[in-house]
Amino acid sequence: MCIPFGGNALTLAPTERGARLGKIMRNLMCFHAVLSVAYFVVYQWLNGIIDLILGLVGFFAVKNPDSFNVQQLLCVSVPSLCA
């Protein structure tokens, strides 16, 4: 499921490289939040909502530095590739 709340999620401990990429992704998800606010300001509501949802799901996927939620990362990756 793509829901960022609890449940039986598949979490994996990252390697050293994965931990660095997780920090980068955390920063990118914060950028998604800023971008979604910018979309709302210029009245592009649908793009703002989609960016906000993808940003939140991506942030919750990598918020714990000890383990990343693989299912949520896939939920962020696939729509981002299609956009």
Instruction: Please write the tens of the pLDDT for every residue from 26-50.
Output: 888 888 888 888 889 998 888 888 8
DSSP classification of residue 42: T
Distance from C-alpha of 24 to C-alpha of 7, rounded to nearest angstrom: 25
Q: Are 47 and 39 in contact (CB under 8 A)?
A: yes
Average pLDDT over residues 7-28: 84
Residue 73: predicted pLDDT: 79
pLDDT at position 16: 92
Tell me the C-alpha distance between 44 and 83, whole Å: 15
The number of angstroms, rounded, from the C-alpha of 56 to the middle of its chain's C-alpha atoms is 5
